Amino acid sequence: MAAVEENLTRVYTINLGRAWITPQHKRTDRVINMIREFATKHMKSDEIKLDQDLNRQIWTRGKTHPPRKVRVKMVKDEDGVVTVSLYEDAPAPAEAPAAEVKPEAAPAETTAAAEEPKAEAKPEEAKIEAAK
């Protein structure tokens, strides 16, 4: 069973709206505690470490206006220490649609190029007919 717990990784969206029940000047402190409580409950460990980027994200809007939700990645290592960090989506899906657009643009250019000679042919025919 110890092998199953090695580097256990999970992604959660934590709802932090209940922090608005606390007094205004203590909200961000409460949000940090809520994240620690959530990690303790879901990852079943008492040793919780918050990543610096997560801490900065929470504190960017000050002490009175923390975010309502935060998407986090929790990693539990072999020693039972849980590291909570911001979850970042992989950039690979963003690149895939750009690759799909390029093949579609190429046929549009060829159809436009194919129509141009036909358009030029019509005025020539009109000149020939006018000359007769």
Compute the distance between CA of residue 112 and CA of residue 67 in angstroms, rounded to an integer: 50
**Cα–Cα separations (whole angstroms), residue 40 to 61, 84, 99:** 25, 11, 42
Torsional class of 73: left (φ above 0), alpha (ψ -120 to 50), beta (otherwise) = beta
Percentage of residues in the chain having pLDDT higher than 70: 63
Mention every residue, 6+ apart, whose C-beta is less than 8 A from residue 24: 64
pLDDT band at 7 (very low <50, low <70, confident <90, very high): confident
Average pLDDT along the chain: 81
**pLDDT value at 111 more than 90:** no
For the stretch 29-78, pLDDT in tens is 999 999 999 999 999 999 999 999 999 999 999 999 999 999 999 999 99
Predicted pLDDT of residue 34: 96
**pLDDT value at 110 more than 60:** no
Both structure tokens of 85: 């960090």
